[in-house]
Amino acid sequence: MLDVSLLYVEDDLFIRNMLVNILSKNVREIHTAENGLEGFMMYEKLRPDIVLTDIRMPIMDGLEMAAKIKALKKDAPIIVTTAYGDTENLLRAIDIGIDSYVLKPIDKNKLLRSFKRYADEIELTKRLQEQENATVTIQALLRAAIEQSPSGILVFDAPTGNIRIANAAALSIRGETNAKLTNISMIEQPEKWNFFHADGRRYKYYELPQSLAIMNGSTVKDVEMIIKRDSGEIRWVIASAAPVMDSKNNIVASILILQDITERRSLADQLHQAQKMEAVGQLTGGIAHDFNNILTAIIGYGSLTKNNLSPDDQNRLYLDQILNAAEKASVLTKSLLAFSRKQILSPKQVNLNDIILGTERLLSRLIGEDIQLRMDLHNEDIMVFVDPGQIEQVIMNLATNARDAMPEGGTLTVATSLSPIKERGFEGVKPDKIYALLRITDTGVGMDEMTLNRIFEPFFTTKEKGKGTGLGLAMVYGIIKQHNGYIFVSSYRTKGTDFRIYIPLVSKTFTEAKDNERDENDIPYGTETVLLAEDSEDVRAITKEILLNHGYKVIEAIDGEEAIIKFKANKEDIDLLLFDVIMPKKNGKDAYEQIRKLKPDIKAIFTSGYATEILSKRNMLEEGINFLPKPVSPNILLRKIREVLDRDK
Residue 182 near which of Mg ion, ligand ADP, none (CB within 5-8 Å, type-dependent): none
Q: How far apart are CA 610 and CA 480, in angstroms?
A: 16
Question: Nearest-CB residue to ligand ADP?
Answer: 472
Under rule CB under 6 A, how many of the chain's residues touch ligand ADP?
23
Minimum Å distance from CB 489 to ligand ADP? 8
HSE (side-chain half, CA atoms, 13 Å) at 526? 21
Binding pattern for the stretch 492-521 against ligand ADP, x by CB under 6 A and - elsewhere? -----x------------------------
Q: Note whether 472 binds ligand ADP by CB under 6 A.
A: yes
Minimum Å distance from CB 347 to Mg ion? 24
Q: Note whether 474 binds ligand ADP by CB under 6 A.
A: yes
Angle 401-404-410 (CA atoms, 0-180°, nearest 5)?
100
Q: What is the DSSP string of 300-353?
A: HHHHHHHHHS-TT-THHHHHHHHHHHHHHHHHHHHHHHHHTT-PPP--EEEEHH
User: Of the two residues 261 and 452, which places its CB atom closer to ligand ADP in the complex?
Assistant: 452
Q: How far apart are CA 487 and CA 435, in angstroms?
A: 12
Q: How far apart are CA 299 and CA 482, in angstroms?
A: 28
HSE (side-chain half, CA atoms, 13 Å) at 410? 21
User: Of the two residues 456 and 579, which places its CB atom closer to Mg ion in the complex?
Assistant: 456
Q: Note whether 62 binds Mg ion by CB under 5 A.
A: no
Q: Note whether 445 binds ligand ADP by CB under 6 A.
A: yes
Among 111, 405, 539, 611, binds ligand ADP (CB under 6 A): 405
Which 3 state secondary structure label does DSSP give 378? coil
* Stretch binding ligand ADP (CB under 6 A), from 323-331, 397-405, 422-430, 562-570: 397-405
CA 357 to each of CA 416, 478, 486: distance values in angstroms, whole numbers, following the listed order: 11, 23, 22
| Amino acid in position 620 | M
Q: Note whether 462 binds ligand ADP by CB under 6 A.
A: yes
Question: Does residue 29 contact residue 20 with C-beta atoms inside 8 Å?
Answer: no
**Terminal CA-CA length for the chain:** 121
Angle 136-139-142 (CA atoms, 0-180°, nearest 5)?
150
Q: How far apart are CA 243 and CA 520, in angstroms?
A: 81
Binding pattern for the stretch 437-476 against Mg ion, x by CB under 5 A and - elsewhere? -----------------------------------x----
Helix axis angle for 634-646 and 262-308, nearest 10°, is: 90
Minimum Å distance from CB 536 to Mg ion? 32
Work out the number of other CB atoms within 10 angstroms of the CB of residue 500: 20
Among 157, 442, 534, 535, binds ligand ADP (CB under 6 A): 442
Among 447, 574, 605, 638, binds ligand ADP (CB under 6 A): 447
* Stretch binding ligand ADP (CB under 6 A), from 203-211, 310-318, 414-422, 471-479: 471-479
Among 451, 453, 594, 635, binds ligand ADP (CB under 6 A): 451
Binding pattern for the stretch 97-136 against Mg ion, x by CB under 5 A and - elsewhere? ----------------------------------------
User: Of the two residues 168 and 452, which places its CB atom closer to ligand ADP in the complex?
Assistant: 452
Phi, psi of 351 (to 5 degrees): -90, 120
**DSSP annotation of 521:** T
Q: Note whether 347 binds Mg ion by CB under 5 A.
A: no
Q: Note whether 460 binds ligand ADP by CB under 6 A.
A: yes
Residue 540 CA to chain centroid, in angstroms? 50
* Stretch binding ligand ADP (CB under 6 A), from 101-109, 223-231, 381-389, 469-477: 469-477
Close Cβ partners of 593 (under 8 Å, ≥ 6 residues apart): none
Q: Note whether 391 binds ligand ADP by CB under 6 A.
A: no
Q: How far apart are CA 296 and CA 546, in angstroms?
A: 12
Q: Sheet of 251-260: strands edge to edge?
A: 163-166, 152-157, 251-260, 234-245, 220-228, 195-197
Minimum Å distance from CB 406 to Mg ion? 13
Residue 447 near which of ligand ADP, Mg ion, none (CB within 5-8 Å, type-dependent): ligand ADP
Residue 607 near which of ligand ADP, Mg ion, none (CB within 5-8 Å, type-dependent): none
Binding pattern for the stretch 387-426 against Mg ion, x by CB under 5 A and - elsewhere? --------------x-------------------------
Residue 462 near which of Mg ion, ligand ADP, none (CB within 5-8 Å, type-dependent): ligand ADP
H helical segments located in 149-201? 168-174, 178-181
Minimum Å distance from CB 277 to ligand ADP? 13
- Give the footprint of ligand ADP on this chain (CB under 6 A): 397, 401-402, 405, 442, 444-447, 451, 455, 460-463, 468-474, 497
- Give the footprint of Mg ion on this chain (CB under 5 A): 401, 472
